[in-house]
Structure formats: structure tokens, C-alpha cells
Amino acid sequence: MHPLHPLRPLLALGAAVAASLFTASAQDSTNFPAVGEVIRLAPELDTLIAPGSSIQVLSSRFDWSEGPVWVKDKTSPGGGHLLFSDIPPNKVMKWVEGTGISVFLSPAGFTGPAEYGKEPGSNGLALDDEGRLLSCEHGDRRVSVLTEGGGKRTVADNYQGKRFNSPNDLAVHSSGAIYFTDPPYGLPLNWDDPKRELDFCGVYRFQNGEVTLLTKELTRPNGIAFSPDEKTLYVANSDPKLAIWKAFPVKDDGTLGEGRVFHDATEHVAKPGFPGLPDGLKVDAKGNLFATGPGGVWVFSPEGKPLGRISTGEKTANCAWGNDGSVLYLTADMYLCRIQTLTKGARW
């Protein structure tokens, strides 16, 4: 994940939108309820998550929470705030320690006048190298950036003149290049939608005004993240018939070499106690992978050894490091959760 920067213009815009659309109730309690459990598959997990750690539920009643990103702000409680998407109602939400939830941005992913499917909103969120909010937008089928003046501009919305399916998740390289995935989940009829213009689901890079197709070998590319040294790009494939994570070597020119299967979780799909599919993911400073998938957030060593699972009991869509870099925030269906870890996010 690219280093985070303060978002002064976003703070101002978010406050204005929140004031007009939503009034957050006071949340001065630190006595959050717990959900799920941490399942240990290897003793090494104890160096990353202390035994007895609980998964706290910070807020709930969302339709489908996704794409969290932490915005650093030394003047705020906890050192910043969390932004995340609630896709069906087309909103970006904001969570602040001690205050709670408010609407940060609406509409968030579709700005047209008509209805647009069940998931029109934004999905993955990130900060660019200037600290501006980047959004993968389902309905408007683009990657956008929220500018200093408060308006959005299109970063990329097509490949060789054909509109993207529905950009899903993104990762920002230290060079400023934006890597993103493009499955069809935001299209009203998914893969069978007549508005679909591409006959594949790609992984792309946007740099210097140009979109480059990096690979189209994955059937449903989804979550995406770099290793700490940026020599490996991890991509989740959310296909129930091939529920895998792949690791791609990143070449010197930023393109990808031949990928390898990092882990295959297909056997767990639809089993009792294993809700969800490979989705969003993040990497810690030691190269361990925290990847949402069947049964919660899988924790893998850099070599791909499963160390454990953070099981919320719900389909868990994504995660993000926050606070001082050691707190992992989870978007799990209708919940926003977090867990304290013993590690820190990559490049924190």
C-alpha cells in the first residue's frame, strides 16, 4: 500500500456531505461487542496476533461493506479515520474513534439518473501519491480521483476504447502507478450483461496517462496488493470454481511475469463455517499476507503457509491497516470490525 497522507480537502468535503445526509450518534464507548474467533493453524500466528485477541464490531447495519482505507490525521482520535464503501446504497462511509459512523460521500460509484443494478457504488478505495482518494467505481465503470476542489475526475475508464467491466480493487505502487482489477460484479447482470464490452476480466496498470493490460488469465480477479519490496503482486481470484490467490513477479518495467498459485482454497468454498470467496487483501511489513477468503481473513506466511484465520462468521470482503499500522480493520458483510495485531502494515 502506498504511504498514507493527510486528506485535508477530503475532510472538508466529507464533513459537508455528512452534515447534509447523515447525523452520526455519539459513540464515546470503548466497550465494543466481539464477534467470531481467531483460528490458529500454525504456532507462528502467535507472533502476529496475540492469543485471546478479539474481533471487535465497531458498527453494523450496512448492506455490503467493502474497500476500507485509513486516512492518517495526527489531530484525530486514533491518529486518523477510516473510509469504506457500502456498495448497494452507493455510499462511502466514514468511521472516527469516539464519534462513530457518518456518510462521507454519496453518490459514490454511480452518478447516472436511473437505477443501476444491485451494486452501483464504489468498491476498493486507496490513496494516491498525493494523498487523494482513489475509488474503483462499479456504476460509472472507472477508477476516479477526488480532487482538491471536491469534484471527481476520471483516472481511467476504458482499455483500447472499450469500457471496463466494473473496477473492483486497486493498489498504488511507490512509482505512483495504479494497479487495479476488473471483474464484472458491478454490472447489473454480471458477466451476462449486454453492456459488457470486454470479453475478459483484466488486471491493469495506469501510469503516465496510459492503461496497460498486465494479465487476463484470471477468471474473476479481485483483491490486489504488493509485497513490501514491491517485487511481487498478489491477486485474489473470486471464482468459486477456482478460489485461489496468485503471486506475480513484478518486472523492472512494472509489468508482470508468469504468475504462480500462492494458495488454493477451492476445497473450502461453500463448506459450513467457510462463508465467502478470495476478495480483498493486505500485506504486513514482514511480508505476511492477510487475505479475505472462505472462512474470514486467511493469514499466510510469505512462503504461502497458512498460519491461521480471522473468522468473523460472515462473508468478509476486505481489510486495511489503521491507527499506528498495527490495527487491522475488516469489512464483513453488514459489519465494520477490527482486531489488534502484533505486526504492522507494509510501508507504514
Q: What does the domain layout of the chain look like in residue ranges?
A: 8-23+34-340
Is the pLDDT reported for residue 107 higher than 70?
A: yes
CATH H superfamily, domain 8-23+34-340: TolB, C-terminal domain (2.120.10.30)
- Give the count of alpha carbons within 13 A of 338, CB side only: 24
Nearest to 157 by CA among 128, 118, 197, 104: 197
Nearest to 258 by CA among 249, 270, 271, 245: 249
How do residues 53-83 score in pLDDT, each as one tens digit?
A: 999 999 999 999 999 999 999 888 889 999 9
How do residues 112-124 score in pLDDT, each as one tens digit?
A: 998 999 999 999 9
Instruction: Centre a 10 Å sphere on the Cβ of residue 189 and count the other Cβ atoms it contains.
Output: 11
- pTM, rounded to two decimals: 0.91
Q: What is the mean pLDDT of residues 121-139?
A: 97
Residue where the block lists cell 495506469: 206
